[in-house]
Structure 1
Amino acid sequence: MPDTATPARTTAAELDLRPAAFTSPWGRVLRVFAWLSFLTETIIIGTGGAVRLTGSGLGCSEWPLCTPESLVPILADQGIHGAIEFGNRLMTGVVGVIALVVVLLVLHLTDGSRSVFRALRYAAGGIVAAAAAFALVTLTGLPVPAFPVASAVLLLAVIAAAIHTTRRTSARRDLLVLAWVVFAGVMAQALVGGITVLTGLNPFIVGFHYTSSLLLVCVTAAFLVRLYAAPGPRERAVPTWFMILSHVTGLALAVTILFGVLTTGSGPHSGDQDVLRHGFDATVLAHVHSWPGYILAALVLALTIAAWALRLPPRKWLVVLVLAIAVQVGVGVWQARAGLPPLLVGIHMVLASLSAATYTVVVLKLKRPAADEVSTPSAG
């Protein structure tokens, strides 16, 4: 077991946190876009929540067009609901562009311009294949929507590019994998969003759409942690019991979020006044949702006290998690007693993603770079 009683230990990897490429001007640009990716992934949860909570889920009745005749909403016909739904679609484009920039920057910093051009060739091939699939479905009159098929083909090209470039890259493969997961995830989310509209806001698909967005927030948080961390192998930095309890806490968090999604899916905010819910009793689910929530709060508090008593690496982030969970509990109780006002429900949704992202950071702090101990350089 690593010596957790000496947190001031300095390793060789910690003295040289990143290769020279990641401290170059391009490396600084990557850090900016990595933060933008995290922020926009969080913001799109808010804009997606606004679509649902304002009853704008079918503000654009079609996908990828907003109406059968127009890409953009016609305000005279669709009003504010069309503008809100279309604004969320535009936000998806912003998130996707930022995720693509992060992928290209990581490729450039780890394997040079050759990897960038290789990925762009895959992109060009994917666009051609997607166009061919769209034309094939349209011309043959197959009983499936053409654009979702084309989008799925393009997504497959992205996955192929991710596998190929990752296998050819040895430096900071962790960053490249995370960057590709985010970009492919955004593309998949756009496809799921379209399916959500085409299925008339099926509550289970809506719930899956939100959960997937929350996971992408966690992945962008993980990317930021690994970007600032030392590369190379890692070793456990906490006692075994603490690691086990941390993962049990993660299970409690997942169950809490799952029942939160089901509760929202049974409540009054369906995304459109004509959409039916999935039939569960929202009042009962609200109580069931609170049980793992309180267990989660107790587990996080216990971990925080233990981490500070033993001076373990995740202790500062556990304080952040305690505060996030405390605010979440407060907002949850408030919204339940106030009759689920849309603003509080939206805040609750965003805070859930930030709590999950903070927990992701805590888990990554359970390990530290594995390297031989070296002497710490003297100050001055």
Structure 2
Amino acid sequence: MSKTVGAEAVNSIYQWLPSSIDARIRVVAWLSLVSEIVIVGTGGAVRLTGSGLGCPTWPSCVPGSLVPTQEMGLHGVIEFGNRLMTGLIGIIAIAAVVLLWRLRKERKDLFVLAVILGGGVLAQALVGGVTVWTGLNPFIVGFHFTASLIMVCLATVLVHRVYLAPGPRALIVPVGVAGLAHATSFVVALTVMMGVLTTASGPHSGDAAAGRTGFNAELLEHLHAWPGYATLALTIMLLVASVRIKLRVHSFIVTLLMIELLQIVVGLLQANLGLPPVLVGLHMVLACVLAAAMTAVVLNLKAPIGITPDATELANTNEVSSRHR
């Protein structure tokens, strides 16, 4: 009797799971993206408030206690709050895998992405532990942030894919525009990496006893800014090209450009105001938003074959593009 009831319960749950992409899956995909960005903000708050060792051990907060004790004060609360965010992201990742279980063969692309994001949460938690064990080694902290950016990009892919039909995809922009977009994405990545190295060499170490890279932070600020301006120039070129030949991707490029302009303004302000923690934290979060926007631009260079422009339209687009070169 109990086996029958259990089988019926399992079957009932299975029938409840989506048999096609619905609002539940799309909501979880968006929650995954938003939470991956938010945890960068909370992680930044940990470092910028000097709470990096607010919980000096891992996986427990202090020896013998999973949660911070009164002696750890506000720093312990801030650090533990960031750890709780990891748990929340893990729950969202599990929810995505569960909701996509029934579609794991039909939408293997989405299911694999959800599994990777779930595995990424676990990997990030382990890197966080190594960060604590090494006393906030700046290179480990930088790697931790870089891994978070990759998670943001993967979550962006998941959001993008839940709105598309499955199957092969084809380029819907001229090859030259696609090449320019990929070049822009490379320079964006270079800008972010230089930003990570600059931050690892600056004053906000996360704890008074934490070490720094020893590199010249002022020089790195300039090396970080140059590819940033190159990114802006490439994005403007990309936008002009997309508008002149009326490409569908131009709205995503506009969004990318707006984020870059905001990021440059915040970067200049923080550099000239002595790196106030609030602006540094905002700069970090905007780096994630920038990575998501750049990923969205690249993803929208292609579309499922069933909804790509027909041969005549694409040929005309390429002809117009060649005239403007």
State TM-score, norm by structure 1: 0.75
Rounded to whole Å, the distance in 1 between the matches of 2:297 and 2:100 is 24
Q: How many residues align?
A: 293
Identity %: 52
Quote the residue 2:74 is aligned against. 80
Question: Which residue of 2 is the match for residue 325 of structure 1?
Answer: 260
Aligned counterpart for 2:213 among listed residues 261, 278, 294 = 278
Q: Does the CA contact (< 8 Å) of 2:172 and 2:309 recur in 1?
A: no
Name which of 242, 251, 255 aligns with 1:316. Answer: 251
1:121-149: per-residue Cα shift (whole Å, max 9, x none)? Answer: xxxxxxxxxxxxxxxxxxxxxxxxxxxxx
| Partner of residue 44, structure 1 | 39
Which residue identity lines up with residue 275 of structure 2 in the other structure? L
Residue number in structure 1 paired with 2:198: 263
Query: What residue number does 1:93 align with?
Result: 87
Distance in 1 between residues matched to 2:63 and 2:160, nearest whole Å: 44
- 2:101 counterpart residue number: 107
Cα deviation digits, residues 52-88 of structure 1 (max 9, x gap): 000000000100011112111112x111000000000
Write out aligned runs for 1:145-224 (5 A): 169=105, 171-224=106-159
Contact 1:103/1:176 (<8 A) preserved = yes
Match of 2:51 among 33, 40, 56: 56
- Establish whether residue 22 from structure 1 lines up as the match of residue 17 from structure 2: no
Distance 1:235 1:329 in 2: 34
C-alpha offsets along residues 257-282 of structure 1, whole Å, 9 cap, x if unaligned?
00000000000000001111010010
Partners in 1 of 2:166 and 2:248 — Cα distance?
A: 17
Q: CA deviation at 1:313?
A: 2.1
Change (3 A) 1:301 1:67: same
Aligned twin of 2:66: 71
The one-letter code of the counterpart of 2:38 is I
Contact 2:187/2:230 (CA < 8 Å) preserved in 1? yes
1:21 aligned counterpart, secondary structure: coil
Measured on the aligned residues, the alpha-carbon RMSD in Å equals 1.5
Separation in 2 of the partners of 1:101 and 1:371?
30
**Deviation at 1:203?**
0.4
Assess, with a 3 A threshold, how the Cα gap between structure 1 residues 176 and 373 changes in structure 2: closer, same or farther: closer
User: What is the match of residue 164 of structure 1?
Assistant: none
In the alignment, what sits opposite 1:130?
A: none
CA contact (8 A) 1:22 1:28 kept: no
Q: Which residue of 1 aligns with 2:6?
A: none
Q: Please state how far the C-alpha of 1:30 moved relative to its aligned partner.
A: 1.2
Which residue identity lines up with residue 34 of structure 1 in the other structure?
Answer: A
In the other structure, the counterpart of 1:343 is 278
SS in 2 for 1:325: helix
The 1-side partners of 2:202 and 2:142 are apart by 12
The one-letter code matched in structure 1 to 2:302 is: K
Letter paired with 2:265: G
The structure whose RCO (Cα within 8 Å, separation 6+) is larger is 1
* Letter aligned with residue 79 of structure 1: G
Give the whole-Å Cα distance in 1 for the aligned partners of 2:274 and 2:38.
25
AA matched with 2:196? V
Q: What one-letter code is carried by the residue in structure 1 that aligns with 2:81?
A: G
Residue segments in structure 2 that go unaligned for 5+ positions in a row: 1-17, 311-325
For structure 1, the 5+ residue unaligned runs are 1-19, 112-168, 376-380
Which amino acid in structure 2 is aligned with residue 314 of structure 1? Answer: V
Runs of 4 or more consecutive aligned structure 1 residues displaced over 4 Å after TM superposition: 372-375
Taking a change above 3 Å as real, the CA distance of residues 91 and 205 of structure 1, as seen in their structure-2 partners, is same
